[in-house]
Amino acid sequence: MCGIVGIVSNQSVSKRLIEGLTRLEYRGYDSAGIAVINGQGIKRRRAPGKIINLQHVLDDSPIDGTCGIAHTRWATHGKPNMENAHPHQAGNVAIVHNGIIENFKPLREELARKGHVFATQTDSEVIAHLIQYFLDKAMDEESAFLACVERLEGAYAVAALIGKDNQTLFAARHGSPLVVGFGEGEMFVGSDAFALAPFTKRVLYLEEGDSAVVKIDDVCVRDKSGEEVTREIMTASISAVMAEKGNYRHFMEKEIHEQPEALARTIAAYMDPETNLPLLGDAAPFLRDAERLVAIACGTAYLAASVGKYWFEGLAGVHVETDIASEFRYRTPALPKKNGTALFISQSGETADTLAAMRYCNRAGLDTIGVLNAPESSIARETNAIMRTLAGPEIGVASTKAFTAQLAVLAMGAIGMAHLRGSLSQADTQIHLMALETLPELAQQALTVKAQCEAIAPILATAKQSFFIGRGVYYPLALEGALKLKEITYLPAEGYAAGELKHGPIALIEDGTPVVVIAPTDALIEKTISNVEEVAARGAKVIAITDEAGAEQFKDSTKDIIILPDMPGLTGPIISAIPLQFLAYFTALKLGTNLDQPRNLAKSVTVE
Ligand code: F6R
């Protein structure tokens, strides 16, 4: 949830720490800070809010050194103010931390009894004090760091500066990701390879329980038993070029426009050019043999899983259970004893709840498949098979192209599974695949509704609350439309199954309440139209997202009809996401919120 970067070099590091940190700002932007060691010991600068505020502090009061750490925070314990900003310092120790130290209270009390005075309300500060405590016991730096890590419970990625040593960084991971980067005469640590991309692509991923002593030209990694271990050095696939907004106002706008390309890449990766059949790679046997599927994810990714359920059940006839990761892991799910396959859908591959649910399924003996956008992520490294979404880096906090790429992969998975199990004939398989191949073109056409969405956005921007409704595969889309609007506009919005409105929520409809209905032509459109008439009769302002044929049927209920191209096979929900993204985008633009970094949110939720 927070971002960490560290550099040990024989050149100055401050500027580059900020550069690396900026690439991690998607992880949190409640406060930022930096600490360096130079001839005068540890110096730090911190600021509440975004990295730009820290930059202003540094402009007024520069610090530099050849070894340093930096942090961008998404607050968990303690307010997002300057006092609680990382790095935290105790004597000769400065640390940055991502995760939650679950036993921080007893540790803090124990250290307070020994005379340690705490300056913050964070769980993280205890790490600095604990290291200092062990240094005071005459331990050397590495022993003090390891002794500290041994006492920590919970999730952490930690980087530390210790003593007066400006040649060494100390790092450890348990439950939160951390990579070590190899440069020329300098070394790095970072929350992900993207942060280190301007400096190096040669990285090693610390594994659970690893700690590392990072020097200018070497790293010593120890596993959780303290044994020295060798971890493979890899070339990170991430582009070294800083993701730029180009001519777009926001990353979200750019990423909405990147969908034709992202869908083309994703679909191509799953099409076998020789057989013209779906190419499911390592996932194929798990899908072919599954007696039951469990699909687990969070937020928007969960809504992709919910659409997938309709497809897998409809085409492959397999029972699919979907669950929100944070719920799944804390109940006692009745899992299949044999031939159970669990899908984990995640853009980042780092979402703590999804990761924990995946580990649970691994332990329970299920075959696990990650549907992932980040191929080097924690989930990618621990699942039995990966189905990649090739959306490219998604920087805007609100997921857009990753969602539609997840849907495309799930569609391919469902068609492929159905074909492998013989529930879809060769001819029908081809028809479905040909439909998916039109996705890039359809997405391109769907982008043309942009101006119309901009014109409709004031209706949503001025409403007390809005509703999004749909049936079948468009029900999860309704939830996604409402989620997108809520997270970037801060306006109340609810998604409902269209047939469910009359069981309660219809009481909320007043004169002028916006109801966005997602209903391209399908077997259920007539029924959805009846539900739309029910709300229109009660004064709702209906906004319909449909196709040419559907538009005919909506014309008595509303003038605000967003017409998408005809969407064959499984393409409907994928393409229908685009106007929902635009509606949220333009509503937020009108309200002037920070669309790429909405309040209280972060891109990658690595805490429970
Ligand atoms: C909403 C959004 C979130 C994420 C969720 C899961 O726009 O982006 O709801 O979908 O936090 O994140 P990943 O996919 O990284 O596991």
Ligand 1 centre to CA of 48 (Å) is: 25
User: Could you tell me which residue, 334 or 219, shows the higher pLDDT?
Assistant: 219
Ligand 1 centre to CA of 423 (Å) is: 32
Structure tokens at 456: 């409709």
Mutate to test the pocket of ligand 1, among 347, 484, 597 (most ligand atoms within 8 A of CB): 347
Distance of alpha carbon 535 from alpha carbon 519, whole angstroms: 15
How high is the pLDDT of residue 238?
A: 60
- Asked: is 245-437 a CATH 3.20.20.70 domain? The reply is no
Residue nearest to atom 10 of ligand 1 (CA): 300
Average pLDDT, the chain: 93
How high is the pLDDT of residue 192?
A: 86
Mean pLDDT, residues 322-346? 92
> Would you please indicate which residues are annotated as catalytic (active-site) residues?
2, 603
Distance of alpha carbon 68 from alpha carbon 320, whole angstroms: 48
Tell whether the model's pLDDT for residue 32 goes beyond 50: yes
Residue nearest to atom 3 of ligand 1 (CA): 299
Structure tokens at 114: 């020994």
Backbone φ and ψ for 70, nearest 5 degrees, come out as -145, 160
Residue nearest to atom 7 of ligand 1 (CA): 398
DSSP of 283-344, one letter per residue?
HHHHHHH-SEEEEEE-HHHHHHHHHHHHHIIIII--EEEEEEHHHHTTS-----SSSEEEEE
Residue 303 CA, closest ligand 1 atom number: 10
Residue 605 CA, closest ligand 1 atom number: 11
Query: 602 CB under 6 A from ligand 1?
Result: no
What element of type H or E holds 162? strand 154-162
Ligand 1 centre to CA of 209 (Å) is: 26
CA–CA distance from 314 to each of 264, 317, 350, 468, 473 (Å)?
A: 24, 6, 30, 24, 11
Cis peptide before 87 (omega within 30 of 0): yes
Distance of alpha carbon 571 from alpha carbon 587, whole angstroms: 26
Ligand 1 centre to CA of 27 (Å) is: 12
The answer to whether residues 543 and 512 touch, using CB atoms and an 8 Å cutoff, is no
> Across the beta sheet with 560-564, what order do the strands follow?
493-497, 466-470, 514-518, 541-547, 560-564
Mean pLDDT, residues 168-173? 96
If pLDDT is split at 50, 70 and 90, which confidence band does 168 have? very high
Least trusted range by pLDDT, from 24-28, 345-349, 446-450, 514-518: 24-28
Query: 485 CB under 6 A from ligand 1?
Result: no
How high is the pLDDT of residue 243?
A: 62
How high is the pLDDT of residue 597?
A: 84
Mean pLDDT, residues 517-540? 94
If pLDDT is split at 50, 70 and 90, which confidence band does 606 have? low
CA 117 and chain centroid, separation: 36
Distance of alpha carbon 495 from alpha carbon 512, whole angstroms: 17
Side chain identity, residue 80:
P
CB atoms within 10 A of CB 87: 28
Q: What is the DSSP letter of 82?
A: S
> CATH number of the domain at 445-592, please?
3.40.50.10490
Sign of CA dihedral 122, 126, 132, 136: positive
If pLDDT is split at 50, 70 and 90, which confidence band does 608 have? low
How high is the pLDDT of residue 607?
A: 61
- The percent of residues in the chain predicted with pLDDT above 90, rounded, is 80
Structure tokens at 592: 């002037």
Tell whether the model's pLDDT for residue 399 goes beyond 90: yes
Q: Which residues pair with 405 in a beta bridge?
A: none
Tell whether the model's pLDDT for residue 533 goes beyond 70: yes
Q: What is the DSSP letter of 87?
A: P
Per the listing, tokens 């070294």 go with: 240
- Going by C-alpha positions, the residue among 419, 427, 305, 442 that lies closest to residue 369 is 305
Mean pLDDT, residues 447-460? 98
Side chain identity, residue 16:
R
Query: 98 CB under 6 A from ligand 1?
Result: no
Query: 487 CB under 6 A from ligand 1?
Result: yes
Alpha helices (H) along 180-275: 193-196, 251-257, 259-269
**∠ at Cα 544 (538, 546), nearest 5°?**
145
Structure tokens at 459: 């209706």
Q: Which residues pair with 517 in a beta bridge?
A: 469, 544
Mean pLDDT, residues 392-411? 95
Mean pLDDT, residues 451-480? 97
How high is the pLDDT of residue 217?
A: 92
If pLDDT is split at 50, 70 and 90, which confidence band does 40 have? confident
Ligand 1 centre to CA of 347 (Å) is: 7
The answer to whether residues 262 and 395 touch, using CB atoms and an 8 Å cutoff, is no
Strand duo 202-205 + 234-235: pairing: antiparallel
Side chain identity, residue 426:
Q
Per the listing, tokens 């009846």 go with: 530
Distance of alpha carbon 45 from alpha carbon 26, whole angstroms: 21
Query: 22 CB under 6 A from ligand 1?
Result: no
Structure tokens at 296: 């687990």
Mutate to test the pocket of ligand 1, among 324, 345, 348, 399 (most ligand atoms within 8 A of CB): 399
Q: Where in the chain is the domain with CATH 3.40.50.10490?
A: 245-437, 445-592
Distance of alpha carbon 479 from alpha carbon 326, whole angstroms: 18
**∠ at Cα 145 (214, 349), nearest 5°?**
65
If pLDDT is split at 50, 70 and 90, which confidence band does 242 have? very low
Strand duo 367-372 + 340-346: pairing: parallel
Distance of alpha carbon 153 from alpha carbon 155, whole angstroms: 7
Distance of alpha carbon 502 from alpha carbon 265, whole angstroms: 42
Ligand 1 centre to CA of 337 (Å) is: 30
This prediction's pTM? 0.81
- The percent of residues in the chain predicted with pLDDT above 70, rounded, is 98
- Going by C-alpha positions, the residue among 71, 126, 68, 125 that lies closest to residue 98 is 71
How high is the pLDDT of residue 605?
A: 66
Backbone φ and ψ for 101, nearest 5 degrees, come out as -90, 105
Ligand 1 centre to CA of 400 (Å) is: 10
User: Could you tell me which residue, 321 or 395, shows the higher pLDDT?
Assistant: 321
pLDDT digit string, tens, across residues 124-137: 999 999 999 999 99
Q: What is the DSSP letter of 49?
A: S
Query: 326 CB under 6 A from ligand 1?
Result: no
Mutate to test the pocket of ligand 1, among 252, 298, 400 (most ligand atoms within 8 A of CB): 298
Side chain identity, residue 96:
V
Distance of alpha carbon 526 from alpha carbon 82, whole angstroms: 56
Tell whether the model's pLDDT for residue 240 goes beyond 50: no
Q: Where in the chain is the domain with CATH 3.60.20.10?
A: 3-242
Query: 399 CB under 6 A from ligand 1?
Result: yes
Mean pLDDT, residues 322-335? 91
Q: Which CATH number fits domain 3-242: 2.40.30.10, 3.30.420.40, 3.60.20.10, 3.40.640.10?
A: 3.60.20.10
How high is the pLDDT of residue 241?
A: 44
**∠ at Cα 488 (586, 246), nearest 5°?**
60
Query: 406 CB under 6 A from ligand 1?
Result: no
